[in-house]
Structure 1
Amino acid sequence: MDGAIVSRDIFARHPDGSRVLGVADIIRRRAAATPGLTAMIEPDRTTTFADLDRRSTQVANALIARGVEPGDRVAYIGANSPVFLEVLYGATKAGAIATAVNNRLAPPEIAAILADAAPAVVVVDDPALAPGSLTGDGWFADASTVDPLVPRGPDDTAVIFYTSGTTGLPKGIMLSGDNLGQALATMHYDMELTTDSVAMAPIPYFHISGLGLALVANLNGAALLLETATDHDGLVTLLSERRVSHAAVVPTILQILLNLPRTHETDWSALKYLVYGAMPIPLPVIRQATEVFGCRFIQSYGLTESTGGVTVLWPEDHFVEARLRSVGRPMPGVEVRVVDPVTLEPLPPGRRGEVLIGGGHVMRGYWQRPAETAATIVDGWVRTGDGGSFDGDGYLYLHDRIKDMIVSGGENVYPAEVESVLTGHPAVAEVAVVGVPSRRWGESPVAVVVPRPGATVDGAELIAWSRERLAHFKCPVAVHVVEALPRNASGKLLKHVLRSSYT
Structure 2
Amino acid sequence: MTAVLLPTPPEYVDPHYALHADGTRVERLEDIPRRRAAATPEASAVVTTTSTTTYAELDREASRVANALLAAGVRPGDRVAYLGENSAQFLATLYGASKAGAIPTALNFRLAPPEVEYILRDAEPFALVLGAGHSALAGVARQAGVRCVVEADGFDAWVAGVTDADAGFARDPGETALMFYTSGTTGHPKGIELTGANLGQAVAAMHYVMELDTTSVALAPVPFFHVSGLGLALVAAINGSSLLLRNPTSPAELCRILQEHRVSHAVAVPTVIQFLLGLPDVRDGDWSALKYLVYGASPMPEPVLREATAVFGCKFLQSYGLTESTGGVTMLSPADHLAATRLRSVGRPMPNVPVRVVDPVTLRDLPAGERGEVLIGGGHVMRRYWRNPSATEAAITPDGWLRTGDGGSFDSEGYLYLHDRLKDMIVSGGENVYPAEVESVLTGHPAVAQVAVIGVPSARWGETPLAVVVPVAGQTIDGGELIAWARERMAHYKCPTAVEVVDALPLTASGKVLKTSLRGEYGGFSG
Q: Same fold (TM over 0.5)?
A: yes
Q: Distance in 1 between matches of 2:22 and 2:474?
A: 63
SS of 1:470's equivalent? Answer: coil
Q: Render the CA deviation track for 1:93-112: whole Å, top value 9, x for unaligned.
A: 11110011001100000000
The corresponding residue for 2:18 is 7
Q: Distance in 2 between matches of 1:21 and 1:326?
A: 31
SS of 1:476's equivalent? Answer: coil
The corresponding residue for 1:290 is 309
Counterparts of residues 416-431 of structure 1 (less than 5 Å):
416-431=436-451
SS of 1:138's equivalent? Answer: helix
The structural deviation recorded for 1:20 is: 9.2
Instruction: Structure 1 unaligned segments of length 5 or more: list them.
Output: 14-18
The corresponding residue for 1:134 is 150
Is 1:325 the equivalent of 2:344?
yes
The structural deviation recorded for 1:443 is: 0.4
Q: Distance in 1 between matches of 2:161 and 2:177?
A: 25
**Contact 2:439 2:451 survives alignment (8 Å):** yes
**Contact 2:181 2:190 survives alignment (8 Å):** yes
Letter of the structure 2 residue corresponding to residue 335 of structure 1: P
The structural deviation recorded for 1:283 is: 2.0
**Contact 2:20 2:36 survives alignment (8 Å):** no
**Contact 2:76 2:102 survives alignment (8 Å):** yes
Is 1:476 the equivalent of 2:496?
yes
The corresponding residue for 1:273 is 292
Q: Distance in 2 between matches of 1:213 and 1:174?
A: 19
Q: Render the CA deviation track for 1:206-227: whole Å, top value 9, x for unaligned.
A: 0000000000000111111112
Is 1:451 the equivalent of 2:471?
yes
Aligned partner (choices 136, 141, 162) of residue 143 of structure 1:
162
Is 1:229 the equivalent of 2:248?
yes
Q: Distance in 2 between matches of 1:487 and 1:20?
A: 51
Is 1:409 the equivalent of 2:429?
yes
Is 1:310 the equivalent of 2:329?
yes
Tell which deviates more after alignment, 121-130 or 455-464.
Answer: 121-130
Letter of the structure 1 residue corresponding to residue 361 of structure 2: V
Aligned partner (choices 375, 383, 397) of residue 394 of structure 2:
375
User: Structure 1's 489 and 12: CA in aligned 2 closer, same or farther, altered over 3 A?
Assistant: farther
**Contact 1:55 1:86 survives alignment (8 Å):** yes
Percent identity for Structure 1 against Structure 2:
65
Q: Distance in 2 between matches of 1:73 and 1:376?
A: 23
Q: Distance in 1 between matches of 2:23 and 2:486?
A: 48
Letter of the structure 2 residue corresponding to residue 380 of structure 1: G
Q: Distance in 1 between matches of 2:322 and 2:388?
A: 18
The structural deviation recorded for 1:259 is: 1.1
Q: Distance in 2 between matches of 1:221 and 1:441?
A: 34
Q: Which is bigger in relative contact order (C-alpha 8 A, separation at least 6)?
A: 2
Letter of the structure 1 residue corresponding to residue 374 of structure 2: V
SS of 2:405's equivalent? Answer: strand
Aligned partner (choices 492, 500, 509) of residue 489 of structure 1:
509
Length-normalised TM-score, structure 2: 0.92
The corresponding residue for 1:96 is 102
**Contact 2:27 2:196 survives alignment (8 Å):** no
Tell which deviates more after alignment, 478-487 or 136-145.
Answer: 136-145
The structural deviation recorded for 1:256 is: 1.1
**Contact 2:20 2:238 survives alignment (8 Å):** no
Q: Render the CA deviation track for 1:47-103: whole Å, top value 9, x for unaligned.
A: 111110000000001111111000000000100000111011111111110011001
Q: Distance in 2 between matches of 1:20 and 1:354?
A: 31
SS of 2:509's equivalent? Answer: coil
Q: Distance in 2 between matches of 1:201 and 1:227?
A: 8
Q: Render the CA deviation track for 1:396-455: whole Å, top value 9, x for unaligned.
A: 111011111000000000000000000000100100000011111110000000011111
**Contact 1:11 1:20 survives alignment (8 Å):** no
**Contact 1:10 1:26 survives alignment (8 Å):** no
**Contact 2:227 2:327 survives alignment (8 Å):** yes
Letter of the structure 1 residue corresponding to residue 471 of structure 2: P
SS of 2:335's equivalent? Answer: helix
Is 1:80 the equivalent of 2:86?
yes
Is 1:69 the equivalent of 2:85?
no
Aligned partner (choices 30, 41, 53) of residue 36 of structure 2:
30
Report how many aligned residue pairs link the two structures: 495
Aligned partner (choices 171, 195, 203) of residue 152 of structure 1:
171
Letter of the structure 2 residue corresponding to residue 116 of structure 1: D
The structural deviation recorded for 1:9 is: 4.0
The structural deviation recorded for 1:320 is: 1.8
Is 1:111 the equivalent of 2:122?
no
User: Structure 1's 413 and 240: CA in aligned 2 closer, same or farther, altered over 3 A?
Assistant: same
Q: Distance in 1 between matches of 2:453 and 2:23?
A: 46
Q: Distance in 2 between matches of 1:80 and 1:240?
A: 20
Q: Distance in 2 between matches of 1:321 and 1:294?
A: 16
Q: Distance in 2 between matches of 1:500 and 1:437?
A: 12
User: Structure 1's 168 and 21: CA in aligned 2 closer, same or farther, altered over 3 A?
Assistant: closer
Q: Distance in 2 between matches of 1:88 and 1:332?
A: 28
Root-mean-square deviation over aligned CA pairs = 1.6
The structural deviation recorded for 1:130 is: 2.9
**Contact 2:81 2:106 survives alignment (8 Å):** yes
The structural deviation recorded for 1:487 is: 2.0
Aligned partner (choices 27, 41, 44) of residue 50 of structure 2:
44
Is 1:202 the equivalent of 2:221?
yes
The corresponding residue for 2:461 is 441
Is 1:187 the equivalent of 2:195?
no
**Contact 1:73 1:99 survives alignment (8 Å):** yes
Instruction: Structure 2 unaligned segments of length 5 or more: list them.
Output: 1-12, 143-148
Aligned partner (choices 181, 188, 197) of residue 169 of structure 1:
188
Letter of the structure 1 residue corresponding to residue 480 of structure 2: A
SS of 1:315's equivalent? Answer: coil
The corresponding residue for 1:16 is none
User: Structure 1's 370 and 492: CA in aligned 2 closer, same or farther, altered over 3 A?
Assistant: same
The structural deviation recorded for 1:22 is: 1.4
Aligned partner (choices 336, 350, 370) of residue 369 of structure 2:
350
The corresponding residue for 2:7 is none
Q: Distance in 2 between matches of 1:20 and 1:49?
A: 17
**Contact 1:73 1:96 survives alignment (8 Å):** yes
Length-normalised TM-score, structure 1: 0.96
Is 1:384 the equivalent of 2:404?
yes
Is 1:400 the equivalent of 2:424?
no
**Contact 1:103 1:129 survives alignment (8 Å):** no
User: Structure 1's 314 and 138: CA in aligned 2 closer, same or farther, altered over 3 A?
Assistant: same
The structural deviation recorded for 1:281 is: 1.6
